C-alpha cells in the first residue's frame, strides 16, 4: 500500500466525522499561509530520511479529497450544507461501497454497535483490500476490526475527541501488528493537525476513551457548575461562563506549557487563611476528587463493553 495524496472516506459522518473533516480542512487552509509544526508526542520520522525528504513525504501524505457517508438521505442533505462543495457526500449501503471504493483511507466513524454490519455489507470487503482503515469506534478492538476486514487491510485504532473540530483535540492511536510506517505517519499527521496526538498500546484505549474521548462532557459539567456558582453570587450568566471557560483553559495551559504539577499550581493560588483554601475544603467535603476519578473508572468500564454484541 502506498499513500500518495490520498482520498479519505469517512464512513459514518456524524459529530466526530464532521469534527475530523472540518478540522482537517481548516488545517489545510491554515498551512497554505503558515507552515504549522505538528504537535505530536511520538517521533515517527524515519531515521534514514533527511528533514527535507520527510517534509516532502508529509506533503505527499496530505489528503487530496474527502468523501462523507451517512445512512439517511436527510442526513446527507444536511451534511452537504454543513461541509460545502469540498466534500462529496453519499448515503445508504450503495453510498458506503462507492465511498470506500473511491478512497485510499477509510475513517470508520459510525456508532460501535453498527461497525460490524457496516464492514460486512456486500461489496465493502472487496473495496477495503490494500487500504488503510482508521476506526474511532469506542470499545471496538483491533482484533475485531481485523476479523471484519481483509488480511490486506491495514488497521489503526484511534480515540479522538470533539475539540478536534477546532483543532484543540486529543487523540490516541494504537496500531495493529501489520501497520506500516507510512500508514502510522499519515494517521499521526492528520490527528496532530487536529490537536495533540499520542501513540499508546491498545490496552490503554478504554481509559483513554473515558478520559479524553468522553472528557469534554465531564469538563463541561465542571465548567457549567463553576459558572452556576458565579451566577449564584450575582454574575450575569454569559460573564460567568466566559470566566469559567477561560479559567479552565488557563489552568490547563499552565500544566501543558510549563509541565508544572497541578498541585503546585493549586498551592500557588492558595493564600494561608484565604478564600481559596476555604473553597478547596468545600470541594474536598463534596468528595470531588474521588467523584471525578470514579467517573473515569466507570466510563472506562462501560467503554470496554461497547464493541460487544448485545445479547
d(CA 62, CA 78): 27
**Is residue 92 annotated as involved in ligand binding?**
no
For residue 199, give the nearest of 161, 164, 156 by alpha carbon.
Answer: 156
Does 31 sit near ligand NDP (CB under 6 A)?
A: no
Identified binder of ligand A1CAB from the candidate list 209, 211, 223, 307, rule CB under 6 A: 209
138 binds ligand A1CAB (CB under 6 A): yes
Answer yes or no: is 14 a known binding residue. Answer: yes
Is 12 a known ligand-binding residue? yes
Which residue stretch of 40-48, 207-215, 262-270, 284-292 sits at the interface with ligand A1CAB (rule: CB under 6 A)? 207-215
Number of chain positions touching ligand A1CAB (CB under 6 A): 5
Q: How far apart are CA 185 and CA 131, in angstroms?
A: 15
| Residue 98 sits in the site that holds ligand NDP (CB under 6 A) | no
301 appears as a binding residue in the annotation? no
- The interface with ligand NDP within residues 185-214 (CB under 6 A) comprises 213
Rounded CA separation 258/216 (Å): 22
Question: Binding of ligand NDP at residue 67 (CB under 6 A)?
Answer: no
Question: Which span (69-77, 181-189, 222-230, 260-268) binds ligand NDP, by CB under 6 A?
Answer: 69-77
Count the Cβ atoms, other than its own, within 10 Å of residue 281.
10
For ligand NDP, the closer CB: 25 or 243: 25
Closest CA to 21 of 34, 35, 7: 7
Site for ligand A1CAB contains 136 (CB under 6 A): no
CB atoms within 10 A of CB 86: 11
Contact between 181 and 44 under an 8 Å Cβ cutoff? The reply is: yes
Query: Which 154-183 positions form the footprint of ligand NDP (CB under 6 A)?
Result: 159-162
13 known ligand binder: yes
- Write the binding mask 3 to 22 for ligand NDP: x where contact by CB under 6 A, - elsewhere: --------xxxxxxx-----
Dist. CA 128–CA 101, nearest whole Å: 7
* One-character DSSP codes across 191-221: HHTTEEEEE--GGGHHHHIIIIISHHHHHHH
Tell the smallest beta-carbon distance from residue 134 to ligand NDP (Å): 11
Which residue among 40, 69, 133, 173 contacts ligand NDP (CB under 6 A)?
Answer: 69
Q: What dihedral angle (degrees, nearest 10) is formed by the CA atoms of 119, 120, 123, 126?
A: 70
- How far is residue 45's CA from residue 47's CA, in Å, rounded to a whole number? 6
# residues contacting ligand NDP (CB under 6 A) = 27
Among 213, 240, 300, 307, binds ligand A1CAB (CB under 6 A): 213
**Separation CA 106–CA 11 (nearest Å):** 7
Task: Name 15's bridge partners.
Answer: none
Provide the binding-site residues for ligand NDP, judged by CB under 6 A. 11-17, 69-72, 75, 96, 109-112, 114, 118, 136-138, 159-162, 213
In the annotated binding site for NADP(+), the residues are: 11-16
In the annotated binding site for NADPH, the residues are: 96
Amino acid at each position: 500500500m502506498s499513500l500518495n495524496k490520498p482520498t479519505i472516506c469517512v464512513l459514518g459522518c456524524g459529530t466526530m466525522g464532521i469534527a475530523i473533516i472540518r478540522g482537517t480542512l481548516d488545517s489545510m487552509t491554515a498551512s497554505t499561509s503558515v507552515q504549522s509544526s505538528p504537535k505530536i508526542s511520538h517521533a515517527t520520522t524515519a531515521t534514514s530520511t533527511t528533514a527535507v525528504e520527510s517534509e516532502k513525504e508529509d506533503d505527499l501524505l496530505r489528503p487530496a479529497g474527502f468523501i462523507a457517508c451517512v445512512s439517511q438521505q436527510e442526513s446527507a442533505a444536511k451534511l452537504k450544507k454543513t461541509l460545502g462543495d469540498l466534500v462529496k457526500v453519499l448515503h445508504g449501503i450503495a453510498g458506503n461501497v462507492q465511498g470506500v471504493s473511491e478512497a485510499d483511507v477509510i475513517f470508520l466513524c459510525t456508532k460501535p454497535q453498527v461497525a460490524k454490519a457496516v464492514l460486512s455489507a456486500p461489496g465493502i470487503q472487496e473495496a477495503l483490500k490494500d487500504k488503510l482503515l482508521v476506526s474511532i469506534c469506542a470499545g471496538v478492538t483491533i482484533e475485531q476490526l481485523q476479523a471484519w476486514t481483509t488480511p490486506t487491510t491495514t488497521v489503526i485504532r484511534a480515540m479522538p475527541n470533539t475539540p478536534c473540530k477546532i483543532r484543540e483535540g486529543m487523540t490516541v492511536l494504537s496500531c495493529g501488528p501489520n501497520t506500516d510506517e507510512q500508514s502510522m505517519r499519515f494517521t499521526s499527521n492528520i490527528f496532530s493537525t487536529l490537536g495533540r496526538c499520542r501513540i499508546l498500546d491498545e490496552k490503554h484505549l478504554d481509559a483513554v476513551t473515558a478520559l479524553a474521548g468522553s472528557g469534554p462532557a465531564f469538563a463541561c459539567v465542571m465548567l457549567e457548575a463553576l459558572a452556576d456558582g458565579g451566577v449564584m453570587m450575582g454574575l450575569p450568566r454569559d460573564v460567568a461562563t466566559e470566566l469559567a471557560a477561560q479559567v479552565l483553559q488557563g489552568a490547563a495551559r499552565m500544566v501543558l506549557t510549563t509541565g508544572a504539577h497541578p498541585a503546585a499550581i493549586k498551592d500557588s493560588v492558595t493564600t494561608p487563611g484565604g478564600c481559596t483554601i476555604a473553597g478547596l475544603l468545600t470541594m474536598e467535603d463534596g468528595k470531588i476528587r474521588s467523584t471525578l476519578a470514579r467517573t473515569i473508572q466507570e466510563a472506562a468500564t462501560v467503554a470496554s463493553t461497547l464493541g460487544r454484541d448485545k445479547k
